[in-house]
Structure 1
Amino acid sequence: MIETWTPRPAFHAADEQTRNDLLAGAQEAMRQLAEIGVVTLGWGRVEPAANSTSHEWFAVWQAPSKELADKLLEGVEDSGWYTYFEQSNAVGELRPAEAAIAEHLALGADAR
């Protein structure tokens, strides 16, 4: 799963304690998720690039199943994160490039 997000005005307007509590909660959630096999591979700031997302930050996660990835997303929503951040998510099974390329080629044939 890949998350991309940008702080909303509500995050910038929140007091320091609110921001600290929100991000401390995220750290605790990451610890709990790691215990069930959902791990964050890292967070970073989006570097300007051609056709880049308009979001400012990203995180990359690895989950052993779609159900656990869904659990991660439920936790993000339950935490109030979306109140403070505009976010987009991409969830899917990571497979060899050749498999995805074959699917793309099949899509071309289906469109005819």
Structure 2
Amino acid sequence: MNRILGAAVSIGTAAMALLASAPANADDASYLAALDAAGVFRSGPPNARLSAGHRFCNQLRAGSTPDQVVNDYVRRPSFGGPSMVDDLTVNLRPVIDIAQHELCPDTLH
């Protein structure tokens, strides 16, 4: 019985180690790094930038094409100077392309 329990703990520990190095975190980091390297969508905090990228991926997974995501993007006027919305309005297509490559490569055809 102790041998079985020990084996289960070992398997569980190995599984947790794999999960701790899950690619999702690396994907998030590589998405932010790719945005910065391309010089697009640099405004806004990292969590807002990530949220937008994941939202675009969800739209693509739901069947939208990248062009449809661009056309459906809600453009709101900003107040008080340049904002994250302004940044996305100008650079939306490259942001979607980067999101596809870094966050949701399953949406590439």
TM range (shorter): 0.3 to 0.5
- Higher Cα radius of gyration: 2
Higher helix fraction (1 or 2):
2
Task: Give the TM-score taking structure 2 as reference length.
Answer: 0.33
Task: Give the TM-score taking structure 1 as reference length.
Answer: 0.33
